[in-house]
Structure 1
Amino acid sequence: MQTKKIINNGDDAVDEMVEGILAAHSDTLRPVGGNLRALVAKNGPRPGKVGLVIGGGSGHEPSFVGFVGKGLADAAAIGNVFASPPPDPIMECTKAADGGAGVLYMYGNYAGDVMNFDMAAEMIGMDGIEVRTVLTTDDIASAPPAERHKRRGVAGNFFVFKAAGAACDMMLSLDECERIARKANDRTFTIGVALGACSLPQTRKWNFEMGPDEMEVGMGIHGEPGIAREPLQSADQIVDRIMDQLLAEMDAPKGSKVAVLVNSLGSTPLMELYIMNRRVHRRLADARIETHRTFVGTYCSSLEMAGASITLIHLDDELQRMLDHPCDCAMFQVK
């Protein structure tokens, strides 16, 4: 039995989506040389500024293209659904974002993305553009702390991109932008819980099976297995399950400050996200941790997957400044 989607031909879904994005956000975005898979901020790149290029597979909107604009990412390379962009659009983004001060690549830690971005960096280096790479590895369910370098990048990439984009917009050096990006990543922690599957536009079949009374803790944004398949629990129980692990790994002393992201994986509505957020804030207050800012909504989706993730970033004064720095992107603004 096929799933229901409002699409035309599944093979055309990504390009038609990008056409719609450009029609809605023509004041912010433009394609590089007419390439729908390489989008650049109209008001982002400028001489002397470190360029920030992000990217990854489609199906995670508003990641990645939604975070392209002045004050955040300069360009995004767009892959097929759940697939890395190939090197060519990454290289086009790099050239468009280059202001002569180097370019920072940032994306989730997935084998295809690593291979293609590394290939693009090697080829673009022949043109004299210096590229540094910072992978996002915020998904604490995907590997133990001793193997953090193996962890996936999920919704927490929002905080890491935001910090790096602010550093670039402040005209800091490539060394400083890389340092701040790595610092933000090291202090960002995410766990998600899935209640149901998603389906690809080309197949329109559920990409995994889950019982009506089940949930999976730690599932990845492409349907990668989590750490436990459990009976469905209440909102407070789910949040407590997640917060116990996030707080333990973050290991922040009393009086610390965090920012919070409660993220929908696609079909989970705002009502349920805010119910979760209520419990998140109670748990932080009980731990004597101050909440500086809270973001609730869809920031990194998995098509129409049911479920949500919670992300904490452990702030210091520098990261707080980066988070509060203004940006004006296609699908996200800070004033």
Structure 2
Amino acid sequence: MKKLINAVPDVLSESLQGFAAVHGDILKLGDDNKFVCRKTLKPGKVGLISGGGSGHEPLHAGFVGMGMLDAACPGQVFTSPTPDQMLAAAAAVETGAGCLFVVKNYEGDVMNFAMAAEMMETPVATVITDDDVAVETSTYSTGRRGVAGTLVVEKVLGAAAEQGRDLAALKALGDDVNRRTRSMGVALSSCTVPAAGKPTFSLGEDEMEMGVGIHGEPGRRRVKLASADAIAEEMMGAILSDLSPKPGAPCLLLVNGFGGTPAMELYVIANSAQRILQSRGLTIGRGLVGSYVTSLEMAGCSLTVTMLDDATTALWDAPVHTAALRWGC
């Protein structure tokens, strides 16, 4: 194992300290590194809180800031944060309008956020993301996994919260955006969890894992390496089959790298994906390409499609200032 670390037990704390030092104008660390939160809160705004296992950076801490999350709770690598982390984050960012939890559909995350919600004394609601069409159940989840589509939900909700929408309205909006969002991924290599010291799984030189999860969970099947066009065709075919969009409808296309894929290759996949969308009579109203929901150093990518309307597009376009996303400000 070759990694830029000092000692395995210190990886998360040292990473968070470095993150907070570099982005101290936007955010700060909570006590004992339990959470990352906005440096400046907006009084009377619903507090948006998310979190999950580390190793998926910039998700979620990289999306803390104006126009997105108010706080993020980082667990150990690929391990859910604990309820006390969510409670501490909520206490830090709740300003009188309640809190909304955005939770990826993994059993540990769902259970721990639910426990925190039960213990909270202020109003709280939860949006669960489950955008992965690859498999119906997985190593970590009952039902579909929440993956890169979580970014879309967090961005849209963040903009709506900045406008002052109340907790019930934000809950309804988050559930609606999640219903209009689908994703699927492919892995060309494994990742190595520092504590394990070896790859999570092995792939032959000419193999790929179609439908892989963001923790390295098995996908639909292991197949021979194919062209970018063929990979995009299978992933986009599964996504569009599930979404059943109307011809002519606009969509958001997110091409997300898993941590070990260069931008040049992600744009090759984006080119393939846009041709497929065009052939199905769909238009890319908005797009985003980059490594936003990663799996440590895994090579591969995911495609996410969100069906847009004018209101959702306006919320996507609204100003955002976080460590990982910034526009309009």
TM-score bracket relative to the smaller structure: over 0.9
In 2: Cα distance, 1:16 partner to 1:91 partner: 23
Quick one: which amino acid aligns to residue 198 of structure 2?
K
Contact 2:189/2:208, CA 8 A, preserved across alignment: yes
- Could you list the runs of 5+ residues in structure 2 that have no partner in the other structure? none
**What corresponds to 1:123 in structure 2?**
119
* 1:158 alignment partner, SS class: helix
In 2: Cα distance, 1:10 partner to 1:142 partner: 32
CA deviation profile, 1:10-46 (whole Å, cap 9, x unmatched): 11100000011011100001122x3323111113x32
Deviation, 1:334, is 2.4
**What corresponds to 1:263 in structure 2?**
256
% of aligned pairs identical?
43
**What corresponds to 1:37 in structure 2?**
34
In 1: Cα distance, 2:196 partner to 2:43 partner: 45
In 2: Cα distance, 1:166 partner to 1:142 partner: 31
**What corresponds to 2:43 in structure 1?**
47
Q: How does 1:64-103 map to 2 (within 5 A)?
A: 64-103=60-99
- Could you list the runs of 5+ residues in structure 1 that have no partner in the other structure? none
**What corresponds to 1:10 in structure 2?**
8
In 2: Cα distance, 1:235 partner to 1:260 partner: 16
Match of 1:177 among 163, 170, 175: 170
The count of aligned residue pairs is 325
In 2: Cα distance, 1:232 partner to 1:253 partner: 32
Quick one: which amino acid aligns to residue 315 of structure 2?
M
Give the TM-score normalised by structure 2: 0.96
CA deviation profile, 1:89-131 (whole Å, cap 9, x unmatched): 2111111121211100002111111111111111123xxx111
**What corresponds to 2:304 in structure 1?**
311
Contact 1:261/1:312, CA 8 A, preserved across alignment: yes
**What corresponds to 2:25 in structure 1?**
27
In 2: Cα distance, 1:177 partner to 1:50 partner: 9
Quick one: which amino acid aligns to residue 37 of structure 1?
K
In 2: Cα distance, 1:137 partner to 1:229 partner: 22
Contact 1:137/1:149, CA 8 A, preserved across alignment: no
**What corresponds to 1:106 in structure 2?**
102
More off after superposition, 196-205 vs 72-81: 196-205
In 2: Cα distance, 1:61 partner to 1:39 partner: 13
In 2: Cα distance, 1:105 partner to 1:308 partner: 26
Give the TM-score normalised by structure 1: 0.94
In 1: Cα distance, 2:113 partner to 2:135 partner: 22
* 1:35 alignment partner, SS class: helix
Match of 2:294 among 296, 301, 310: 301
Deviation, 1:61, is 0.2
CA deviation profile, 1:64-83 (whole Å, cap 9, x unmatched): 10000011100001100000
Quick one: which amino acid aligns to residue 152 of structure 1?
R
Displaced runs of 4+ in structure 1, greater than 2 A?
A: none
Q: How does 1:256-295 map to 2 (within 5 A)?
A: 256-295=249-288
In 1: Cα distance, 2:34 partner to 2:324 partner: 17
Q: 1:13 to 1:292 in 2, by over 3 A?
A: same
Deviation, 1:47, is 2.1
Quick one: which amino acid aligns to residue 103 of structure 1?
C
Deviation, 1:204, is 1.7
Counterpart check, 1:60 vs 2:72: no
Deviation, 1:149, is 7.6
